[in-house]
Chain A
């Protein structure tokens, strides 16, 4: 899929992270262009491009930006670089290839929304990536892309890098805000939404790394060029990261709407020899698993995934081989959510623990056969009942695995 290298433009290029290389390839030209426009024109441009949030929810980016109340001038832009959804490693790739692309995207986005301060929030386990990002920020400050009166535009903008401390929930935008405020990373009750009252109660836009990194391209090439890629409702390209028993696990950029089957076959080189497909989790751990027959038909875009009752999510494609025990997979899944629930909302705090506990009894051969029905019911009552989507994220894969692999789960119990 060489024709659309937007986010992966710097793949294979030597010293790709340096400012020198970035500039050599036209870096920071979009910024100069953006400064020729009015902020609201950039918001309109991004709206028009059809860009949707690449963190998982797929909310239209330009629309999100337009929610900021005009009368409050202190605003913040936050980059969600907390990449924690199991199976996801695509934002890391942007840092590996071209942190300046993210910085440029952030300056333009901040200019568009009228923010003069931004933070990149990165998970603490990205030791190397944090260093790369910090180096790029230093370079950008030295070259005058950050700081006062950028490129003579009169626009002042500061960018800082904030490091998390090991909590999946900080990938939720208001959890991230709480964390940045120096608190437990607990999501905030909505309304108010962060665009109205976010970081320190000020209007705040939280965008995913990939979302922000694509903004320079849109400014350079125009909204219609971006919209021309992908499907009607899912514009542009997206980074998909594939893991599991395929020949070439990794991150690949394809236009939205690309068939999942082709992605596995052509991009990832197909399954490793001797591996048979049991299913695919298409959008990170929270996305309901797809069976091989569904994998044949589904395409990588928001609508197609929804029609198969799953989701595009973060674009993390996890391939499950036939040999994988689904009881174990369900246990691993639920242990994760149990570990990561922030504990604030009762249905999630108690529900994630309860589900993980039932799986423990399954593994210990202490469970009754109706335990899966109970799990299904518990999961159903965790959905749509909490401040953030972690509860749903635990419930959805649980229900999907129970529905799609019920006989295997029951056999596990009968085998004892």
Chain B
């Protein structure tokens, strides 16, 4: 791993400029920090040093040979050069060697556009290939896991995936068999990789050897936008980026972002499924009011008015909130400041999955609490002097004899195995139940008084607080595909101002 934490520092020269780094830092890690690009394939900051691609060559003044920077510890006074002709020539040739037996099938390769070979050809290559001899042929399009397709011919044998399997998941599912230019990456026989971290292999593969079954051939990556977010799939709250094509109103994939304290470089495959409920066709697109056992759509202002009139109608009666732990700190704050402080609501129930195993942990990232913000919810409640432990209070809500329930449903129904069952039971209550949700499934349960469509996590700003108290921001960068969707904070603001107006009146 690139950086070792110590207090001692060393100063060395990188292309003539003094750079100070903690003792033990490699030249590669230091250069990365300084935004000096040193081409590399096998080095990955989350894995051990392999030193096999021989791409990251640099020159240390006074030493005879070029050296790989990924295994070169910066020492005081060392003068490192990454840009001389000699170094550049070594980079060019390292690339030529990597491409010697590469099939150059970019037009049909899903990695195109984010391939290390392509990227480096443009930055350090641009030579006329001298390789005119026959190439070594190897097996292609192998099914090696639920999520994975492997092309061993494109593989540059950097061993990142092997090290990931050995060091991160400790599943040891991959090996490099045979030797020399016959060396070939693979699982044992035709075994499949089955763990929950397969897509990381796609992420760390610097070429198109591992591609994602889910994403393959769906979209050329250069058409995708990429925005930072937080995975709402469990209480770890991995930093992710969400790749989407806004003009198609489609989310395509989730990739992990580096967050040292939360998820390091990785995320799990469950976390990649968070997009599944975000397709437009699975979303509740409009506001619905129930009228004589039928839902009919209404405009946003009508829904606000409707909710306001309900609040007026039920003033003095028992109003309850049923809230899942999938909203942001800001949403909780806004909800409770209105309902608890202003409306005097004290009856708040946590809506959690019936089958959750709260203390489960896979030893890597995935936690049994499949909500991103359990901690944020409890913290917000505490702020309003409601002290709670983590508990599923759905049953309690059902039997609470509430007159009006504002139910804020889970936004990821995938993490709620009992979601539909819960909806069915909730919709049959005698109480007046308004369901705030993103799921189109809600329309099947006619007993709700009203259905309020919400925007989902890639489309809103705010923070989650993860299981150990790390607060992380959702940048909410995508405009919602659900044009009629409400942002919880804005919605409550409107209710609030209407209430004020009605009080004044």
Q: Do A and B touch, yes or no (CB under 8 Å, in the complex)?
A: yes
Q: Are B97 and A347 in contact (CB under 8 A)?
A: yes
If A350-B97, A353-B136, A358-B133 touch, whether A343 touches B54 (CB-CB below 8 Å) is no
Interface residue stretch chosen among B180-188, B218-226, B438-446: B180-188
If A346-B53, A347-B94, A351-B97 touch, whether A341 touches B180 (CB-CB below 8 Å) is yes
Q: Are A338 and B181 in contact (CB under 8 A)?
A: yes
Q: Which residues of A are found within 8 Å of B52, using beta-carbon distances?
A: 189, 344-346, 387
Q: Are B94 and A342 in contact (CB under 8 A)?
A: no
Per the bound structure, the CA–CA distance linking A360 and B133 in Å amounts to 9
**B179 located at the interface, meaning its Cβ lies under 8 Å from any Cβ of chain A in the complex:** yes
Q: Are B98 and A338 in contact (CB under 8 A)?
A: no
> What is the chain B residue whose CB lies nearest that of A344?
B52
- The interface residues of chain A, by DSSP majority, are classed as helix
Which parts of B170-212 form the interface with A (CB within 8 Å)? 176, 178-183
- Please classify how large the interface on chain A is, using the bins under 10, 10 to 19, 20 to 34, 35 or more: 20 to 34
Q: Which residues of B are found within 8 Å of A37, using beta-carbon distances?
A: none
Q: Are B65 and A350 in contact (CB under 8 A)?
A: no
Report the count of interface residues on B (CB-CB < 8 A): 35
Contact with A along B23-56 (1 / 0, CB 8 A): 0000000000000000000000000011111110
**B130 located at the interface, meaning its Cβ lies under 8 Å from any Cβ of chain A in the complex:** yes
Q: Are A374 and B176 in contact (CB under 8 A)?
A: no
Per the bound structure, the CA–CA distance linking A378 and B93 in Å amounts to 8
Q: Which of B54, B100, B182, B183 contacts A385 (CB 8 A)?
A: B54
Q: Which of B55, B134, B157, B180 contacts A338 (CB 8 A)?
A: B180
**A357 located at the interface, meaning its Cβ lies under 8 Å from any Cβ of chain B in the complex:** yes
**B137 located at the interface, meaning its Cβ lies under 8 Å from any Cβ of chain A in the complex:** no
Q: Are B179 and A342 in contact (CB under 8 A)?
A: yes
> What is the chain A residue whose CB lies nearest that of B178?
A343
Q: Which residues of B are found within 8 Å of A358, using beta-carbon distances?
A: 133
If A189-B50, A354-B131, A374-B130 touch, whether A381 touches B90 (CB-CB below 8 Å) is yes
Which parts of A322-365 form the interface with B (CB within 8 Å)? 338-347, 349-354, 357-358, 360-361
**B101 located at the interface, meaning its Cβ lies under 8 Å from any Cβ of chain A in the complex:** yes
Q: Which residues of A are found within 8 Å of B234, using beta-carbon distances?
A: none
If A354-B133, A384-B65, A385-B90 touch, whether A346 touches B55 (CB-CB below 8 Å) is yes
Per the bound structure, the CA–CA distance linking A191 and B24 in Å amounts to 13
Q: How far is the CB of B86 from chain A (nearest CB, A)?
A: 11
Q: How far is the CB of B29 from chain A (nearest CB, A)?
A: 16
Q: Are B50 and A350 in contact (CB under 8 A)?
A: no
Q: Are B71 and A349 in contact (CB under 8 A)?
A: no
Q: Which residues of B are found within 8 Å of A385, using beta-carbon distances?
A: 54, 57, 66, 90, 93-94
Q: How far is the CB of A224 from chain B (nearest CB, A)?
A: 33
Contact with A along B127-139 (1 / 0, CB 8 A): 0001101101000
Most interface-central of A357, A360, A374 (chain B CB within 10 A): A357
Q: Are B97 and A343 in contact (CB under 8 A)?
A: no
Per the bound structure, the CA–CA distance linking A384 and B53 in Å amounts to 13
Q: How far is the CB of B429 from chain A (nearest CB, A)?
A: 64
Q: Are A346 and B49 in contact (CB under 8 A)?
A: no
**A8 located at the interface, meaning its Cβ lies under 8 Å from any Cβ of chain B in the complex:** no
Q: Which of B49, B134, B157 contacts A357 (CB 8 A)?
A: B134
**B156 located at the interface, meaning its Cβ lies under 8 Å from any Cβ of chain A in the complex:** yes
Per the bound structure, the CA–CA distance linking A236 and B504 in Å amounts to 108
Q: Are A189 and B97 in contact (CB under 8 A)?
A: no
Q: Which residues of A are found within 8 Å of B68, using beta-carbon distances?
A: 189
If A346-B156, A350-B98, A385-B57 touch, whether A167 touches B179 (CB-CB below 8 Å) is yes
> What is the chain B residue whose CB lies nearest that of A338?
B180
**A117 located at the interface, meaning its Cβ lies under 8 Å from any Cβ of chain B in the complex:** no
Q: How far is the CB of A344 from chain B (nearest CB, A)?
A: 5
Q: Which of B51, B130, B176 contacts A189 (CB 8 A)?
A: B51
Q: How far is the CB of A358 from chain B (nearest CB, A)?
A: 6
Per the bound structure, the CA–CA distance linking A45 and B93 in Å amounts to 45
> What is the chain B residue whose CB lies nearest that of A373?
B130
Most interface-central of B49, B52, B53, B183 (chain A CB within 10 A): B52
> What is the chain A residue whose CB lies nearest that of B95?
A346
**A66 located at the interface, meaning its Cβ lies under 8 Å from any Cβ of chain B in the complex:** no
Q: Are B101 and A353 in contact (CB under 8 A)?
A: yes
Most interface-central of A167, A346, A377 (chain B CB within 10 A): A346
**A184 located at the interface, meaning its Cβ lies under 8 Å from any Cβ of chain B in the complex:** yes
Q: How far is the CB of A340 from chain B (nearest CB, A)?
A: 7
Per the bound structure, the CA–CA distance linking A189 and B51 in Å amounts to 6
Q: How far is the CB of B9 from chain A (nearest CB, A)?
A: 21
> What is the chain A residue whose CB lies nearest that of B73?
A191
If A345-B52, A345-B54 touch, whether A384 touches B66 (CB-CB below 8 Å) is yes
Q: Which residues of A are found within 8 Å of B182, using beta-carbon distances?
A: 343
Per the bound structure, the CA–CA distance linking A343 and B159 in Å amounts to 11
**A386 located at the interface, meaning its Cβ lies under 8 Å from any Cβ of chain B in the complex:** yes
Q: How far is the CB of A361 from chain B (nearest CB, A)?
A: 6
Q: Which of B55, B66, B100, B178 contacts A350 (CB 8 A)?
A: B100
Contact with B along A27-44 (1 / 0, CB 8 A): 000000000000000000
Q: Are A341 and B94 in contact (CB under 8 A)?
A: no
Which parts of B58-112 form the interface with A (CB within 8 Å)? 65-66, 68, 71, 89-90, 93-94, 96-98, 100-101
Q: How far is the CB of B235 from chain A (nearest CB, A)?
A: 37
Q: Are A352 and B93 in contact (CB under 8 A)?
A: no
Q: Which of B51, B94, B133, B179 contacts A343 (CB 8 A)?
A: B179
Q: Are B100 and A354 in contact (CB under 8 A)?
A: yes
Most interface-central of B51, B66, B134 (chain A CB within 10 A): B51
Per the bound structure, the CA–CA distance linking A361 and B134 in Å amounts to 9
Q: How far is the CB of A179 from chain B (nearest CB, A)?
A: 12
Which parts of A171-188 form the interface with B (CB within 8 Å)? 184
Q: Which 9 pairs between the two chains have the least Cβ-Cβ distance?
A: A189-B51, A343-B183, A353-B181, A381-B93, A357-B133, A350-B97, A341-B180, A350-B100, A343-B179
8 other A-B residue contacts (CB within 8 Å) besides A344-B157, A354-B100: A189-B71, A190-B71, A340-B180, A341-B180, A346-B52, A350-B101, A354-B131, A384-B66
Taking Cβ atoms with an 8 Å cutoff, the residues of B that contact A are 49-55, 57, 65-66, 68, 71, 89-90, 93-94, 96-98, 100-101, 130-131, 133-134, 136, 156-157, 176, 178-183
21 A-B pairs with CB atoms under 8 Å apart are: A189-B50, A190-B71, A343-B183, A345-B53, A345-B54, A346-B97, A346-B157, A347-B94, A350-B98, A350-B181, A351-B97, A352-B180, A353-B101, A353-B136, A354-B97, A354-B131, A358-B133, A360-B133, A377-B130, A387-B51, A387-B52
